[in-house]
Amino acid sequence: MDRSLSCPSCGAGLEYGEAGRTIRCPYCGTIVQVPETLWQPIEQARTVSRWTKYIILFLILTVVLPTCLGLLGTALGIGGGIFAAIVSVVVSFFAR
């Protein structure tokens, strides 16, 4: 893809660095509109990567987190059971 532009004011060659829909000519300071064919594929790629991020976050919140909390709950339940058994043994030992 050709990413070179030329300034309409001074004719200098400009390099499009994927930064928005306009670029400023470094020679004369003119704001140059970047053609749609240059910025559109880049913005689409950005939108896709943003949605991928949201989907991963959604999966973490709906699948990974409940699974971890479920496992934590199970572990706490087992731990609590063992703790209660130890406490009851200690209590019955001292209660004699």
Binding site for Zn ion (CB under 5 A): 7, 9-10, 12, 25, 27-28, 30
Q: Which two tokens stand for residue 19?
A: 């930064």
CB of 58 to Zn ion, least distance (A): 45
- Considering the complex, state which of residue 11 and residue 70 has its C-beta at the smaller distance from Zn ion: 11
Which CA distances in Å does 31 have to 10, 19, 23, 24, 28? Answer: 12, 13, 6, 4, 9
Contact 23, 16 (CB under 8 A): yes
Nearer to Zn ion, 17 or 91 (CB): 17
Nearer residue to Zn ion within complex by CB, 27 or 83? 27
